[in-house]
Amino acid sequence: MKLSLADYFILSLYFCFVIGIGWKLRKSVTSAGEFLTAGHHVPVWITSLAFLAANLGAQEVVGMMASGAKYGIMTAHFYWVGAAPAMIFAGVFMMPFYYGSKARSVPEYLKLRFDEKTRALNAITFAVMTIFSSGISMYALGRMFQIVLGWSFDASVILSAVIVLVYTWLGGLTSAIYNEVLQFFLIVLGFSPLSIVVIARAGGWRGIQQRLPGAMTHAWKYLGSANQNPMGIETFGMVAGLGFVLSFGYWCTDFLVIQRALAANSMSGARRTPLIAAFPKMLMPFIVILPGIAALALTKMGTGYSLPVKGNSYDYDQTLTTLMAHFYPSGMLGVGLTALMASFMSGMAGNVTAFNTVFTYDIYQSYIRPGASDRHYLTVGRMTTLAGIGLSIAAAYLAVRFNNLNDLLQLVFSFVNPPLFATFLLGMFWKRATGHGAFYGLLCGTFAAAFTQGLSTAEGKGGWLAGLHDFPSQMAQNFWISIFAWTTCFAVTILVSLATKAPPEAQLEGLVHSLTKLPPDPAPWYRRPGPLAIIVAAVLIVLNLIFR
Amino acid sequence: MFDLRLPSGLFFVITGVVLIVTTDPGHINLYSGLAMFVFGAMLLLLAWRKTRVRKSAGIHTK
């Protein structure tokens, strides 16, 4: 792929704007709160788009298009079943406790609701995971630009790291959030034309349906049995594994996204953040999944475009870049690559800003130096940003040496997030849940996930203890690992809580549903969480009916 | 805190103009450039309107 002057101009323009936004925001960052939590004064339309964009990294865009080509429209379940319901739940039920408790981070909420050891366990695992996530984003960026454009891996990694460092150092979380919104606009405007052109060339949705097997163009029809569809999953695994455990575990407890909602300027704004974000989220499959399905249809049509081949299968990971190279002229190619670069960088920035908040508040202020001045924590926050970027670069080079590092990280995510959702669910809705229950529930849930992976195989992976069961796909295995992890954590937390002393009710006010009185929402009815949630649910049902 | 619509709008107006003047046989640049230009101009208009409303209400920010 060769870039023209116009493409380089658009890329450079983007770099100037992201640094400019950080520069403009630098004067508003005068305290640790401003730097690490955006001072709780970001407008709701910005927090909503950032809430969505924080999850819309380049790996997501590239990966979803690849999955679209591999699994078909069932991939849209990651948005419809695996995101929108959880976002409704987060906005309506969970945000009042996060925002109302005045916790600055998810681990801090765990400390307020349970105890110090539960916070420490979550803070440390989260901090390590964010650094590796950020490093893998950098690694993926370096590899992609090396393969697609022939750029130097080192130069791509260092350039992106320096730009992210400059704008997060200057403007902190606000700067990261503002740039995520710009990235969201770029992704939508940069990839929508590709989607329109590719789908039109494939004969529209009807043309695609005629050229591909039914299992690729129906979201629900072939979910009756695991061997009927390319994903190898059945309805229960899909709904319970992806739709409940994995998605609620991510959208309701991952601090990376929750931090965006907590930056809102009011409780009402924080509650509306995931609900407003759910609207564009439900429509994203039209931009990131449908072109992948159309690419497969075009390959079968023999019109000049063909998915690249790797071994005796297609190299699905190259779907997006090959579509861009084939259909985009100079100019739009620059916009598309800038959108990819932007999403890689905001993926890094999102992880680094979540890391610096958790490290400064939940590790440094809690265990290393409590009671210092606000100015001191601001300096620590900035130095943690620098250290976070440095560690991310180290993680990127670690990924070069161990090319299965990303698989390992995804596995660790599926071990840690699902039990965490069980902990939060019990913590927020059952006043009898105790700190010991939460801590041992989390530990047992994580071990249960590891054992399930060790006792089962999928696509030749896993089964390091014994191969008791073979799943048709790794995705199916992941869904079932999550179900076992969640169930174990849920059961152990209940049992240990009942065997230990209940926390005093006075301590739980504002943290548990039955002991919290929500203040009346001053917003007009159509802007309140309830009606918004009903509209999101209605759109969700319509989309599922159309693509059933 | 400055209005994010200003830099975003400006970015898309400039990118839109660059695409409009970068011709291609399939006119993908032209149509995408026009869409970006209109989107950017709309953001700038909204930001300008908000500034005007704030000024007329006598609200000044630092």
R_g of chain A computed on alpha carbons = 23
Mean pLDDT of chain A: 89
Q: What is the pLDDT of residue A201?
A: 93
- How far is B24 from chain A, CA to nearest CA, in Å? 6
- Residue A469 host element (H or E): strand A469-471
Across the A:B interface, residue pairs with CB atoms under 8 Å apart total: 72
Q: How far is A362 from chain B (nearest CA, A)?
A: 27
pLDDT over 50 at B62, yes or no: no
Binary contact (B35, A328; C-beta < 8 A) = no
Instruction: Please give the structure tokens belonging to residue A421.
Output: 């959702």
Q: How far is CA A352 from CA A35, A157, A381, A466, A470, in A?
A: 12, 15, 11, 38, 37
Q: Do A10 and B18 touch (CB under 8 A)?
A: yes
Facing A178 at nearest CB: one of B4, B25, B28: B4
Q: Which residues of B touch A5 (CB under 8 A)?
A: none
What is the sign, positive or negative, of the torsion defined by CA atoms of A118, A121, A123, A126? Answer: negative
Kindly list the domain boundaries of chain A, sorted by start residue.
Answer: 5-296+318-403+517-546, 404-516
Output the 3-class SS for A479-528: HHHHHHHHHHHHHHHHHHHHHCCCCCHHHHCCCCHHHCCCCCCCCCHHHC
Q: Assess contact for A382 and A169: CB atoms under 8 A.
A: yes
pLDDT of A536: 93
Q: In this complex, which of A4, A174, A335 lies closest to B15 when CB atoms are compared? A: A335
The pLDDT of residue A403: 61
Do A245 and A237 touch, CB atoms closer than 8 A? Answer: no
A262 touches chain B (CB under 8 A): no
Bridging pattern class, strands A469-471 and A461-462? unpaired
For chain A, list residues with pLDDT below 70.
402-410
B contacts of A189 (beta carbons < 8 Å): 12, 32, 35-36, 39
| C-beta of residue A54 within 8 angstroms of C-beta of residue A350 | yes
Interfacial A residues in 28-67 facing B (CB < 8 Å): 28, 41-42, 46
Interchain pair B29, A46: CB under 8 A: no
Q: What is the CATH number of domain A5-296+318-403+517-546?
A: 1.20.1730.10
Query: Which chain B residues touch A335 with a CB distance below 8 Å?
Result: 15, 19, 32, 36
Give the tens place of pLDDT for each residue, A277-323.
999 999 999 999 999 999 999 998 888 888 888 888 888 888 988 99
In the beta sheet, which residues pair with residue A471? A458
Angstroms from B57 CA to nearest CA on chain A? 19
Nearest CA in chain B to A46: B4
Residues of chain A positioned with their CB less than 8 A from the CB of B32: 189, 193, 332, 335
Q: With the C-alpha atoms ordered A262, A25, B39, A349, is the resulting torsion angle positive or negative?
A: negative
Report the pLDDT value the prediction gives residue A407, as an integer from 0 to 100: 65
Query: Residue B2 pLDDT more than 90?
Result: no
CA dihedral A369, A373, A377, A380 (to 10 degrees): -70
Contact criterion met (CB < 8 Å) for A46 and B26: no
Rounded CA separation A56/A523 (Å): 29
pLDDT of residue A514: 85
- Taking only the tens place, the pLDDT of each residue in A228-239 is 888 888 888 888
pLDDT of residue A224: 85
- Better-scored residue on pLDDT, B33 or A400: B33
